[in-house]
Each structure stands twice: as structure tokens, then as C-alpha cells.
Structure 1
Amino acid sequence: MAWPLLLIALGSINGLLFASDLDTAEQLFREGKYTESEVASAAQVELGIWNERWTRVLMRCQLVQGKYAEALAVYENAVKRYPTSVTLRMMGIDALRHSGGTPEQIELENARTFQLLQSSTLRYASRDNLIAAGRYFTAQGEDARDILELFYDRVRDSDPNYLEAYIATAELALEKGDFKVAGDTLQAAERVDASDPRTAYLLARSFESSDSSIADASLKRALSINPNHVPSLLFQAESAIDREQYEAAERSISAVLKINAKQPEAWALRAVIAHLRGEYDQEKELRSKALETWNRNPQVDSLIGVKLSQKYRFAEGAEYQRRALTMDPGYLPAQFQLAQDLLRLGENDIGWQMASGVAESDPYNVVAHNLTTLKDRLNGFSVLETEDMIVRMDPDEARIYGGAVMELLREARSVLCQKYEIQPDAPIAVEIFPEQNDFAIRTFGLPGGDGYLGVCFGRVITANSPASQGERPSNWKSVLWHEFCHVVTLEKTKNRMPRWLSEGISVYEERAHDASWGESMTPTYRKMMLGDELTPVSQLSGAFLSPKSPMHLQFAYYESSLVVEFIIEKYGIEALRKILVDLGDGMDIKDALGRNVGSTAKLDSEFAEHAKTLANAFGAKADWSRDGFPERPSQQQLTDWLKTHPHNYWALTTAAEMAIAAKQYELAADYLKQLDELGTFTGEQNGPLERLSIVYRQLGQVDAERNTLSRIINHSSDALPSLNRLIELSKASKDWKQVANYSDQVLAIQPLLPGGHQSLAEAAEQLDQPARAINPLTALTYMQPVDPAGLHYRLAKALADSDQSDQAKHHVLIALDEAPRYRDAHQLLLQLVHPDETPSEPLSAGMATDKDTQ
């Protein structure tokens, strides 16, 4: 249909089609009214209006709608009139690629563009041509900092209100993983012009990994400005895939394909969904559709690979990156993603080599730079290795508790592999970082990741050491048990399992191994389960990706573990194992559940009822209502309230807090004991049970304090203050068996401070268990002891009593090197050298009776 006829046919649309106002046409495009904008701009181009911007608007409309051949025809006519327009040439290359242009034709257009950029006319180029030049050189892999300085910053300096410079800068920063620069730039861009959907969309991208609430709000705003904004719709589809909400993803993809039936990324995302559903033949067809307009487009396979890797399917993701690199060996995003995939698969040699190569080729790639810097630090780590385990740790930490790490991992492997009937056929790599930022860089590529204690990629585990966690670290044994469970279940399913099930099994297995590990019921969880915070099982994975708060994320872990517990209790462990087998065979989670425990709808309903039963059973005698309870009650209001609501949890808790603050410990104890009788106590930090232990201590009621502290550690895996107090009390009563037991629990939380080692060594010596004293005494030798001679003597004696005479000699000699006149050390050395001889006379009177540290 000729353009004049099309104008007549569409002339009634909004009364704007015959407008010659360029700003109006651009605004129509910005709002997603692509047909109207196309018609208006086409009319002006046909009339021969001498303004290149009309041509650009027309081509943008055609390209976004997939009218690549038409866009190419417009370009071929326009470039004769505007031969020095870099912007136009960049759009022409895009049109040529998607119109079946040969590699030779595309290379020729690139050469012509480069020739133009080399000419002296560029020095007098317009703002838009400078931005286009920057984008051209970005695509060629030129140094990003040079592009910023020579093009984007130059434009922003000359015109601080030119939006396109901000957009281009943010796009470049996002491409290189510099989310802070991207976020700052876009916030500045919003102050210039908040009516362009691109700023809101890019802002969503920049906050995607750090603040989901900002990302979600920005994406909604982008789509409110332009409901047909293709990048935003694709991002929405990606987010839905991440949440395993495939129907929602399909709706967003369909919206894109309604705009452009040939859109490559849309078809690529459909291929991802097909792969995740195990529909591999359909996946091939959809991939072919994605490559239909440009059969050597590396972005298609790279995007598919990225989304699969985000689902922890690193082997499949890596294969897609290799496909992308066969199409374009120089495509840096695929190179770097492949490097990351290989590192997460444990293929470290080639993974680090590729990451270093990307960092050298692309110095502004923040993630690549971070990884290569981290590699230098990793080279200094100690390696603890067995046939099936490789642990990398800081050397000092490895000497102190590396042996305990290996022992814990061996136990986890034995118990969990047997339970889930799987044996990994390659060594498991574990990397433990004393610096939280190093952990985050190794795990996520960027500093941050607060709240994560460990991450498992399959056969690679990364974890924070207690050194990175402040005064009250988490139980490292619990963390590693959790992560090793991921190894087992990911191996069982070939990394094909939803997030909720993977996390749910790991938290469940923590509790199964030790009742104090993992998540357990709290008043907050009770409220969430009985309110509207309980997530249907079919939507649980999404609860991990966009939680409203850190508490909601923790609740997602807890709820997932309850689902697993429910499945095991109702259908048996064999049903759970069968679900994992089906997932490993490529079955969708809905089908796997349906085959073994019933439909997801049924599971949603049954579990919701089960969860409410559990929640109601917690503190069943308590009054949990807040209706009418004053927000900040006075003492008198509280007293009056309790007269009519004697079992109210919130009133009793508040009353106890106020009594403690007023140092009315007897009264506080009464309130807290009432809470205990109502069955509301948990081991949560700073909860009523911890407060009760403090109250008993203030009252001098040692037995009651000890019993309360014992209850705390039975409920909590990281109650370090309670354990230290129990050690103190047990030493006072000379209960050395309990001292040793509590010290072991301290070392499962904080092995990097001397306290736990000192107590365990002392208890072992008092119990005449020399073998048990060896490890803590050895650890203490690496902690800058005040009395190194005495410490090495004690270690030597423990080794000698454990029939390890060679090691005993080594340490007694160290003691004598520190204190040459150390009498007991001399005597021990004589016994070690002449074990069958008993000294017939005392040692020389000139020798010190104890030791001389001269």
C-alpha cells in the first residue's frame, strides 16, 4: 500500500496522522504508538522534507516493528542525501543485518562508517553523531573510558540537558557491569527528562541485582510511559522466567511479538522456557526463529546461555556461549559469560585464563577486573585436598580449622549422598573467604551480596568465613552442611530444579542433622503464615528473587523447608527422591510433582492448610491479637491491659522489656515465665528466652540461668554469648565434660578466636583425653599466644600421650627454644628420647623449676 493511501486508511487515528510537527511524531514513538508515528514521519519523508530527523523517526518505527526490508530501503535512499550522518549509518547497519545482508555487505557498511569517522568532519560533528560514533566504537570493542571521554562526556559537557548522552553512558556502564555509574547517570538523566521510557528501563536494569523494589518500580514506570516498550517487556519476561512464572513470561513475550513478530530476543526467551520445560525439539525450532532475520547473531545464543546459567545450568549455558562464539569469536559478552560458567563448573584453569583475557581486552569491564584481582589473592590460599574434595582457604584459617572443615564435609558427603542415592563423579571444590567482598566478587562478580553466607553452583561452593561476619557469626558447620546438600541435590537433578525446592531441602536437612540448625518457627513467622504472607508452593521460587525485605527472604527459606518436610511426612522420602530423578530427566517441576505427590494446585491447597495448623500450634495458649493494644503504652496502660488480656504475647513481651529497662528483674522474670508457659519461646537473637537468661543472671539464680541457656543453644545454632556463659558456669562447677561439649559448639561458630580452643584444650586435659587436646592446642599456636613455650609444651605432652612421639619432639624443642631452662620440657624431651629409661636422680639444681623465657 502506498504511503498516501495508508495515510487515508489510518487518518482517523488520534487526529495526529497528518501532523507535520516532528516533536509530536517523536513523542508518539516514545509512547509506543509506532504505527501513528511511522505514518506521520513517512508522509514527511515522501514529501522530501529536508530534515534527517524525520528519516530517523521513520526507521526507528520500522526497526522496532520488524520491518527490516522497508527500513533498509529508506536508509539506502536517505544516506545519499545525508552521507555524513553516523547516526543514520548505524541504523542502516542494523537494518542490513536483519534483512539478510551478507557478511561482506555488512563489513562494507562498517568500513564506510569507519572511513567517515576518520574524516576531519567528525571534529565538527553534531551531538547525535558524536553519540552514534561512541556506540560504533563500543561495538568495535574500543576502550570504554576513551569512548566516555571523547564522545559521551564531551557531549554532556557542551549540553548538560542532552538526554541521549546520559542514555549512552548508562548503556555502556551496564554493559561493563558498572552498576553504580549507571544508576548515578540515570538518576541525573531523570532530572533532565523523566518522560523517556529508556531512562526508567535502564534504571531498572541498574538496580536489578541490588534493590529489587527500585527495579520493579522503575520497570512499571517505563511501561506506564510506553506500554509497548520492547526492552522493558523483554526485561519483564526475563524477570518472570527468573521467578519460574513461565505463563507470565509468555504474556510479555507475546506482547513483544505482537509489535515485532521477528524480534530475536523474544524468540530466544521462548527457547529458554522450552529448554527449562524439557521441550528440546521445540527449543531448537524457537532458536531457529530467533536467528531467522540474522543467522549469525551472537546475542541470541548468548542470551539463552545467560538465562540457563542463572538457573544454575552452567554446562548448558556454557555450550550456548560456545555457539555464540562460533558466530562471532570476538563477542566479549559471550567470552566473559563462558569464563564465569567454567569457573562455576570447577574448570578453573581455562575459566581464569578466559576471564583474564577479557579483562585485558576490555579494561573497563568491572566484573572481569574484580575477578582477575581476586585471582591474585586466591593464589595465596592454602589448598586442602583429598580424592573427592578440594578446599581453598586463607592459610592462617586453614591451619586453625581446616581439618574441621574437611571432617565436616566428609560427614556431609557420607550422610547426604547415601540419603539421596547419588555420588558426584568429580571432586567438589569449596572456597572459604575471610573478606566478604572477596566472597561476593567470586560469587556474584561484584562487591555486595550482604546476607549471603554461602552459595553452591553445583560442584563449586563459595562461603564466608567467620572472620567476615562480625561479633556474632553464623554457624559455619551449618552453612557448609546446607551448601553441600545443594551439591547433592543439584547433582541428582543435573542442576534442573526450582530454587524453592533446592533451598527447602537444604534447610530441612540442616534441621534433620541438628535441631538447632536451619530455620524454625518464630512469632514473626507465625504471623506471616496466618496472614497473607504465605506464598503458594507454585510461586515459591519468586519469593527468593524479589522479597519485600530481608525478613521475607528468610521466611522463604523457612517456608520452603516446611514444604519439603510436608512432602516427606505425607508421601515419604522415596517420593522426594523420585521428584529429583524426574527433574534430572528434564521433566518440568509441575509434572514431576503431579507424577509423585499430586498437582501443584493440590499441593498449594494442602500445604496452606498444613502451614496454618503449624502456625496455630505455636503458642496455642497465647493471645496473639494486637487489636486495641497501644503502640507505645505507658506502664499504667500496660498494667491495665494485662488485667483484661493476661495471656497477650505482645503485652507480656513489652512489659518484660520495660521491667528489664527499669531493673525490676523479679517482675521481668514473672512476665517472661508466663510467656514460657504459653509456649512462645524460641532461640531467636534478643528474644524472650535470651532476656530470661539475662534476668536470672542479674538475680543470681545460677541453676535457672544455666537451664535457660541450655534451652537457647538447643534452639539456636549461633548463640555464641550463651555458649560462652555456659562454659564459664561449667568451669566454675568443674563440669569438664560440659565444658568440652560447649567448646566444640563455640568452635562451630567462631574458630578464629582463642576462647573456644583454650576451653576445649583445658577440658580435654582435665578429662585425661590427650588426643582431644591436640587440635585446639595446635590452633592456639597460630594465634600469637602470650606464653608460646608453655603452649608448645602442653601440645608436646598431648602428642606424647597420644603416641605421636616425633611430633611431640618437634613441639618440645620449640618450647625449649622459647625458654631454654624450661624444666618440665627438658624432662619430657628426655622421656621422648629415652622412653625406656627413668631418670635416677633429679635434674641439675641449677635448672629452673618451671621455665625461663629469656
Structure 2
Amino acid sequence: MADIGSLYFKTRKRLLIRLCFLLAVVFIAGNIAPAADLATTEQMFREGNYAEAEASAAEQVENGIWNERWSRALIRSQLVQGKYKEAANVYQSVVNRYPSSVTLRMLGIEALRFSGAGRRQIETERALVFQVLQSTDLRNASRDNLIAAGRYFTEMGEDARDILEMFYDRVRQSSPNFLEAYIATAELAIEKGDFNVAGDTLQAAERIDQSDPRTAYLMAKAFESSDAGIANSSIQRALEINPNHVPSLLFLADAAIDREFYDEAEKKIASVLEINPNHPQAWAFRAVLAHLNGEFEKEKQHREKALGSWAANPAVDSLIGLKLSQKYRFAEGAEYQQRALAIDANHTGAQFQLAQDLLRLGNDEQGWNLASRVAEEDPYNVVAHNLATLRDRVQKSTLLEANGIVVKMDPLEAKIYGGAVLELLSEAREVLCAKYDVEPNAPIVVEIFPEQKDFAIRTFGLPGGAGFLGVCFGRVITANSPASQGERPANWKSVLWHEFCHVVTLEKTNNRMPRWLSEGISVYEERCQNKAWGESMTATYRTMLLDDNLTPVSGLSAAFLSPPSPIHLQFAYYQSSLVVEFLVERHGVDSLKGLLDDLGDGLLIHDAISRNVGPPEKLDAEFAAYACKVGNAFAPDADWSDEGFPQRPTSESLAQWLVDHPHSYKGLRTKAASLVAAEQYQDARVPLEQLSELEAMTAERGGPMELLADVYKELGETELEREIREQIVSRSADALPSLKRLMELEKERDDWDKVALYAKDYLAIQPLLPFAHDLLAEAAEMRGHPTMAIHPLMALLEMDPVDPAGLHFQLAQTLSKTNQNDEAKRHALLALEEAPRYRQAHRLLLTLVQPAAPQSKPAVPQPNQTTASEKGSQP
């Protein structure tokens, strides 16, 4: 056996080179056309009539029909039903008839594995496949055998690109209607995380044949992470073709676990086990459910059942670990991946998932090293490659540490607002840990990325994830910096407060809490800290609270996973926060903390709710009434009906609608927007002020409050504009245009206290532009607070200033006023380095080096007294 293995590893590459040469000129022979009854049998299998397909194929094999495809049909039918020993027996009885069939031999290896064959026997069979490939005249190889050869080399860890080019692509080129080549290509692409290739391949496959459930199932897999609509419709189509399609049933079980619909998941698992009582993935899912239920003895039993037919199957532990990690049980997930690797140290999936688990647990060195190793060993693994490439950029980050918090930021951004980040996180730790009686016993790591794609790769493994501002894994937080978010970024302080709240609640519950509760508490705590933070009421939310979009509390977690639209996802956050608000109002914060404690002790959410706030069914009903009350309390005098509203309103039809419905929110809002777009500001003022009188004003981007503020600005109504913009910034966390305008207005009034206040709020949204730093420094100077001017001036120096010499001089002056003379000298010299004849900088430097007597000390010039001619004049 050792000699066979040695021969295999020494000559495998040579065989691939020979294959490449031969396949360059190969004419791929088609399979012998099957008899009509074979086609019927294969159709039975495709439609899920496995027992009938098995009986039909068995009859032909027992009659000695000389057609290899009957034997393959029989083995496949037995494998899908979990009849592993029977399938292995069939294989061993027919393999000598068809010794050169790689397809048959690959099926045989699967049958032998699951029938309990030892590792030595499996290695022998794999070596025999290798020998067949060495000895076969590949120019006469069938399409089936070439596809099987590709799958063989995939299993042996060969480069995926070579396999695509040498096998699958060439089969498709010579037989463009051969479905199996498309299936194999898509499977390989999905395995490696290349979902674009998979999607394109499957679309081509469905133009050839839409009757195979595998294409629809694989389409669902390819679009699972990017387009829930395509994924859902594809999986339903697969089950319409074959209601017993095991991979599709397991796909739905998997999705139900993700959505916390555990009863539904169990039903799908049971359906699979009716078809195949020994299916390892089904039993692995049952082990996951048992773990989530705190039934650890059952978990052990289900795992043993999953491994019952193939004890050395690393995929079982890897799958259990993956699902636990998806539930934020990263430590438990990592343990399962280590179990999988103890069975097979080269299992790429387990290696990479362990790398991600370690990174999410804060074990950076181990995690990065393992991810890099996977990327080196499997260059076609897109996710591993992305993560390994990101490592180099992450290692260049600046580290900031304080109060058990480690922040990793872009070096430039760290200089500009890194201190403010640490200050905010330290406050969050103090406030939230005290409120929830939590004390983390390890550092909390926060990584902030200036590029959205880097955030997505670090967080999800792939580019994408648009809409996510931050993610918490427990003691590791990843976040997008304002630089990655365009002209109107989110409030980074609000985002980090939200994510740090996740740290606290996940710590308190040992990562055992449903998604809705975790998000609900974080949004609720945003509002508790600052009324402008977190989700707040809008006209759209009012409608959704009062219609079918309101999800029962028991099903809220699912609303985060496959929302019909971005607004539905936002509403899920808002509704979850309302549930928490309701719980605190009705039962008190101690009941909420008790619920979290019970979850941490292993109680299920249903039981924890029953124990702390009452029966979950009662909570669903009471919250529905509460939501209705909240919705109806918003602008109660407005007319919210839109039945009969013109689909494409003209000015005439809109005017008539408002005659008939003078308090119509939709009518007034539509009319105002139309008039603003036409720059008819005086006319637009009327419907907007009517909305204000109806108390229907909201401060979201582009909402009626922003429209009215802009109208007042255009009309020169400065005091009214100031009032409405003050309301906007008190209700909105990211009201950047209004903050900028308020700073301008307050500067005109010389109200420097308010300028400083609004500048700080502006910097909580956008700290990477000079505008607010400049005004904050000026406000500090005008108020006689030089210490408060130092940081904004230093931040301005990092922003490629137009006049670096003047800025260094201004900072030197400020530092001298706070008796930081050494730093003041340094910046005075830097000013002179930029402008050697800068007269005032020379004067300041002289006072710092040789201060004159107090009575003759010259006055220090103000920054606005410095002119370009002075900088360039003789000293």
C-alpha cells in the first residue's frame, strides 16, 4: 500500500501534464445511447422515485445486461437511500466487468466509504483510479469518464483552474449540450467560493436542460449570499421537479436553522431521514439543533449517528462547527473544526473555517497564518485568497489601546480621529458594562477599514455586504470608516456604540441570543445614549407597523436574513428595538437582564421569555397592540389613506386629490417634493408647513424636514431655517448638511459655543474633511480655550493643507499658550522649513528660545494677521 501511495504522489503531476497534451487534440467519444427503459429509469431517479429506479436498475443488472450505466443507476439509487452496503456490494460485483470506468470507480469509492470500508481499502481504490487514468487511451475516453476524472483530481487537491481547463471546459467545447460538464463546473466553483462563475455556468446549463433538479439547487447555492429572491425561487423549482431532492431539502433545513425556525428545520431533516435514514448531514443538523437547545447528550448521540456509516468523515464535524459559528458560538465552532482536522489534517474547508473562527475570537496570529496557508495550498479558493491578501493591509494598521480596548485603524485616520474612537469606546464600556453587569475578561478588538471591500472581506470573506456599517463577533468588532461611505456617511459614534453593545450582550449570554434581541437591544441603547442615534419613526415605518409587515416577535430573527428590500431590513432593526423598549417599559430593565442571564445559562429563548416576561404567545399579542399604539400616535390627524391616489400624478390630479383629501400625507409630501424640484420654493412652503402642523415631520435623509429647511434657506427665512435645522440634528444621527449650515449660521452670529457644539457633532459623522476641524479650532481660539484647538489643528495638518507653513505657525502659537514650548518650537521650525523667510515664525521662535522680560515681551501676532508677503520677506 505504501508503494502505491508513493507512486501516486510522485507521478500525479506527470499524469496531469500528459492529460493536458492528449486533451488538446482529443475527440471526446459520446456514450452509447441508452435504451428507452434506461432513460425511463433515470427519469424516475431525477423525479425522486428512488425505490422504483432502484428496482428497475436491479432487474437489469441481475439479468446481466451489458451496459455499465445500469450498474451506475443502481448504485446511485441505493446511495441516495442510504443503502451503502448494498451499493458497495453491487460495485464490487460489477467493477471487474468495467475496469476502465472512472465514473463507476468514483461511485464505488463513495459507496465503500459510507459502508464502513477502512482507510486502507479506500486508498487502494483511489490508487486504482489513478492507474486507470495512467493506462487509458484518453483520446477515446467518454465524456462521463472525463468528468469523473476531473472530480477525482478535485478530491485529490489539484489546482481547480487546471481541472476546469483540462476536463470540464474541454468537454463543454466538444459537447456543448452535455449537462454533466456544467454541473461539475458549478459544483467546483461553489466549493471554491467563485459564485459568479457558478451563476454564469448554471444559467448556460438551464438553457440546455431545465428538468434536472441539480441545476436549480446549485443555482440557489450560487445566489444564496447575494440574491435571496433567485435562491428561494430556484430551490422551490428544484423541489417541484423532485420533491425528494435531498440536497434541496437540506438547503431548506439549513436556511431554517439560520432563521431560528427550528421546528421547520426539524421537519425538513425528518423528510431527509425518511429517504435516507443514515444521511450524515441530516444527523449533523440534528446535532446542531441539540446544541442550540442545550441538549448536549443528544448532540453527542446525533454526531455519532452522523459518523455511523463513515467514522472518518471530516465533513460532519466541519458542518456542525460551521453552523455553530454562524450562531456566534465561535469557540465551540473552532473545537469542531479541530475535530475535523484530527480526522483529516488536509480538509481545506475545516482549515479555513478554523482560520475565520480564530480571527473572530481575536487569535489573530494563528488565524492569519492558517488563512494564508489555505490560500497557498488552494489558490483557486476565492475566500481564502481574499483574506490572505487583506492580511498585508491589516498589518500596516496603527494600534491604539486603552481600558481593555484595542483599535486597529488606517495610520492616517488614527492620527485624525483615533483618540476620539478610543474615548467613545471607553465610555461605551463604562456605561454599558455597568448597566448590564458585565465585565469582559479579555481585550475587545475593533478594526476600522477605510475601504468597504476590505471590511467585507474581513467580515464575510467576500466583497459585498453593502449596507453593513459594522459587525460584532463577540470580542471582535469590524466597522467601515467614514472614508468608505461616500458624501453622507453614517455616524461612526452611533455605529460603534451599537456594536459595543453587542459585545456586552453577547458576553452576558455566552453568545446565546437570538438575532432580533441582540439587534433590538443595540438600537435601543443607541437611543438611550443619544436621542438622535438609532432608528426612529418615519412615515414608512408607521405604515409597516400597522400592516402585514409587522413580524411576530417569535419570528423576528428571520426578518434580518432575507428581507424583501433594504427598507424591510431597516424596519427589522426598528421593530426589534421597539420590542426591547416595550419590554423595558412593561417589565423593567431587570427583567431584560434576567432574560439575558437565563439565555447565558442555556435556556431557550421561549423558556427565558416565559420565565421573565410571560408566555411568548402573550408577548406577540401584547407587542402587536403596542406597535399599533405607537404607529397610530404618529401624526394622528394626518390622512394616511392612499387608496385611489393617482399612479402618475399630474399637477391637476394632485390638486384635485388634495381638495378631496386636504390632510393627505402622501398628497402633501408628493406636492412638496414636486415643487421643490421645480424650484417653486414659496409654493413648496405651504404643503411642508401643513405637514408640520399635522406633526408629520421626520428627519430622515431627503425627508420633509430637510426639504423645509432648504425651502427656508432659498427664501431667506434664516431664523425659521435655523429652527428647523436644530430640530433635524436633534433627531437625526447623520444630518451632515444641516450641521454644516448651522455652523455657518452660528459663526455669522458669533455664537462660538454653538459652533463648537455642531462641529463636534459633524466630526462624529465626517472627521476626514477639514471643514469642521477648522471651525472647531477657530471656536476654541475665539472662546479663549487654546487647549481645545490643538487636536483639530493637528488633524488639519494630516489633510494635505493648502498652507502648511501657516498651519504649523498657528499650532505653534496655540501650543505656546498652553506652555507646551518644546512642541511649539518644533512646529515653528516646521513652519520655517516650509517657508524659510516666514517673519512671524522667526519672531515666535525667538520668544520661545530666548523669552524677553515680561515688561518688554512683544505681542504674539494673531494668525489672521499673517500675510503671504510676510512669509516670503527677509527675516
TM-score band by shorter chain is over 0.9
Provide the secondary structure at the position in 2 that maps to 1:851.
helix
* Partner of residue 438, structure 2: 422
Provide the secondary structure at the position in 2 that maps to 1:594.
helix
* Partner of residue 569, structure 2: 553
Alignment match of 1:465 (pick from 478, 481, 497): 481
* Partner of residue 767, structure 2: 751
* Partner of residue 411, structure 2: 395
**Alpha-carbon deviation of 1:285?**
0.7
Distance 1:29 1:653 in 2: 58
Distance 1:140 1:634 in 2: 67
* Partner of residue 844, structure 2: 828
- Partners of 1:433 and 1:439 within 8 A in 2: yes
* Partner of residue 219, structure 2: 203
Provide the secondary structure at the position in 2 that maps to 1:671.
helix
Cα deviation 1:667-716 (Å, max 9, x = unaligned): 32121111011111111111111111111111111000000111111111
Distance 2:872 2:554 in 1: 68
Distance 1:456 1:555 in 2: 20
Provide the secondary structure at the position in 1 that maps to 2:96.
helix
Alignment match of 1:222 (pick from 222, 225, 238): 238
Do residues 623 (structure 1) and 626 (structure 2) align? Answer: no
Change (3 A) 1:303 1:848: closer
* Partner of residue 333, structure 1: 349
Do residues 438 (structure 1) and 454 (structure 2) align? Answer: yes
Distance 1:321 1:697 in 2: 61
Q: Which amino acid in structure 2 is aligned with residue 234 of structure 1?
A: L
Q: Which amino acid in structure 2 is aligned with residue 784 of structure 1?
A: D
Distance 1:530 1:167 in 2: 46
- Partners of 2:100 and 2:136 within 8 A in 1: no
Distance 1:608 1:271 in 2: 34
Cα deviation 1:501-524 (Å, max 9, x = unaligned): 111111111111111111011110
Alignment match of 2:819 (pick from 803, 806, 809): 803
Provide the secondary structure at the position in 1 that maps to 2:316.
helix
Do residues 366 (structure 1) and 366 (structure 2) align? Answer: no
Identify the range of structure 1 (579-588 vs 535-544) with the bigger mean alpha-carbon deviation.
Answer: 579-588
* Partner of residue 180, structure 2: 164
Distance 1:632 1:842 in 2: 73
Do residues 377 (structure 1) and 396 (structure 2) align? Answer: no
- Partners of 1:454 and 1:461 within 8 A in 2: yes
Distance 1:607 1:101 in 2: 56
Change (3 A) 1:35 1:849: closer
* Partner of residue 234, structure 1: 250
* Partner of residue 566, structure 1: 582
Distance 2:853 2:163 in 1: 82
Q: Which amino acid in structure 2 is aligned with residue 578 of structure 1?
A: G
Distance 1:236 1:497 in 2: 22
Distance 2:760 2:188 in 1: 52
Distance 1:194 1:641 in 2: 49
TM-score by length of 1: 0.96
Provide the secondary structure at the position in 1 that maps to 2:116.
coil
* Partner of residue 7, structure 2: none
- Partners of 1:358 and 1:368 within 8 A in 2: yes
* Partner of residue 595, structure 1: 611
Distance 2:872 2:490 in 1: 39
**Alpha-carbon deviation of 1:582?**
1.2
* Partner of residue 12, structure 1: none
Q: Which amino acid in structure 1 is aligned with residue 871 of structure 2?
A: D
* Partner of residue 49, structure 1: 65
- Partners of 1:99 and 1:293 within 8 A in 2: yes
- Partners of 1:659 and 1:667 within 8 A in 2: yes
* Partner of residue 525, structure 1: 541
Identity of aligned residues (%): 65
Identify the range of structure 1 (241-250 vs 630-639) with the bigger mean alpha-carbon deviation.
Answer: 630-639
Provide the secondary structure at the position in 2 that maps to 1:587.
coil
- Partners of 1:391 and 1:429 within 8 A in 2: yes
Alignment match of 1:736 (pick from 749, 752, 757): 752
**Alpha-carbon deviation of 1:621?**
0.8
Alignment match of 2:196 (pick from 180, 183, 187): 180
Cα deviation 1:69-103 (Å, max 9, x = unaligned): 11111101110111111111111111111111111
Do residues 493 (structure 1) and 509 (structure 2) align? Answer: yes
Alignment match of 2:870 (pick from 837, 851, 854): 851
Cα deviation 1:19-42 (Å, max 9, x = unaligned): 961111001100000011111111
- Partners of 2:402 and 2:426 within 8 A in 1: no
- Partners of 1:486 and 1:506 within 8 A in 2: yes
**Alpha-carbon deviation of 1:841?**
8.1
Do residues 308 (structure 1) and 324 (structure 2) align? Answer: yes
Distance 1:663 1:351 in 2: 57
Distance 2:872 2:111 in 1: 83
Q: Which amino acid in structure 2 is aligned with residue 286 of structure 1?
A: H
Cα deviation 1:801-835 (Å, max 9, x = unaligned): 22322222221221222233333333333333345
**Alpha-carbon deviation of 1:105?**
1.3
**Alpha-carbon deviation of 1:741?**
0.7
Provide the secondary structure at the position in 1 that maps to 2:487.
coil
Residue pairs, 1:535-684, within 5 angstroms: 535-684=551-700
* Partner of residue 775, structure 1: 791
Query: Gapped runs of 5+ residues in structure 2?
Result: 1-34, 860-865
* Partner of residue 294, structure 1: 310
Distance 1:447 1:853 in 2: 50
Change (3 A) 1:803 1:195: same
Q: Which amino acid in structure 1 is aligned with residue 125 of structure 2?
A: E
Distance 2:704 2:234 in 1: 41
Provide the secondary structure at the position in 2 that maps to 1:80.
coil
Cα deviation 1:738-762 (Å, max 9, x = unaligned): 1111111111111111111111111
Distance 1:233 1:840 in 2: 90
Distance 1:776 1:550 in 2: 36
Q: Which amino acid in structure 2 is aligned with residue 64 of structure 1?
A: V
Q: Which amino acid in structure 2 is aligned with residue 215 of structure 1?
A: A
Q: Which amino acid in structure 2 is aligned with residue 851 of structure 1?
A: E
Cα deviation 1:252-276 (Å, max 9, x = unaligned): 0000000000100000000001111
- Partners of 2:610 and 2:616 within 8 A in 1: yes
Provide the secondary structure at the position in 1 that maps to 2:400.
strand
TM-score by length of 2: 0.93
- Partners of 1:820 and 1:851 within 8 A in 2: no
Distance 2:562 2:868 in 1: 68
* Partner of residue 4, structure 2: none
**Alpha-carbon deviation of 1:114?**
1.5
Cα deviation 1:421-474 (Å, max 9, x = unaligned): 111111111111111111111111111111111111111111111111111111
Residue pairs, 1:697-716, within 5 angstroms: 697-716=713-732
Do residues 790 (structure 1) and 806 (structure 2) align? Answer: yes
Provide the secondary structure at the position in 1 that maps to 2:645.
coil
Q: Which amino acid in structure 2 is aligned with residue 517 of structure 1?
A: W
- Partners of 2:501 and 2:522 within 8 A in 1: yes
**Alpha-carbon deviation of 1:123?**
4.3
**Alpha-carbon deviation of 1:572?**
0.9
Residue pairs, 1:27-66, within 5 angstroms: 27-66=43-82
Provide the secondary structure at the position in 2 that maps to 1:385.
strand
* Partner of residue 269, structure 1: 285
Q: Which amino acid in structure 2 is aligned with residue 257 of structure 1?
A: L
* Partner of residue 9, structure 1: none
**Alpha-carbon deviation of 1:848?**
9.4
Q: Which amino acid in structure 1 is aligned with residue 709 of structure 2?
A: S
**Alpha-carbon deviation of 1:642?**
2.1
Identify the range of structure 1 (785-794 vs 323-332) with the bigger mean alpha-carbon deviation.
Answer: 785-794
Distance 1:586 1:448 in 2: 34
* Partner of residue 711, structure 2: 695
Q: What is the RMSD computed on CA atoms of the aligned residues?
A: 1.7
Change (3 A) 1:853 1:41: farther
Alignment match of 2:162 (pick from 131, 142, 146): 146
Distance 2:206 2:755 in 1: 61
* Partner of residue 99, structure 1: 115
**Alpha-carbon deviation of 1:493?**
1.1
Cα deviation 1:253-310 (Å, max 9, x = unaligned): 0000000001000000000011111111111111111111011110000000000111
Distance 2:678 2:272 in 1: 64
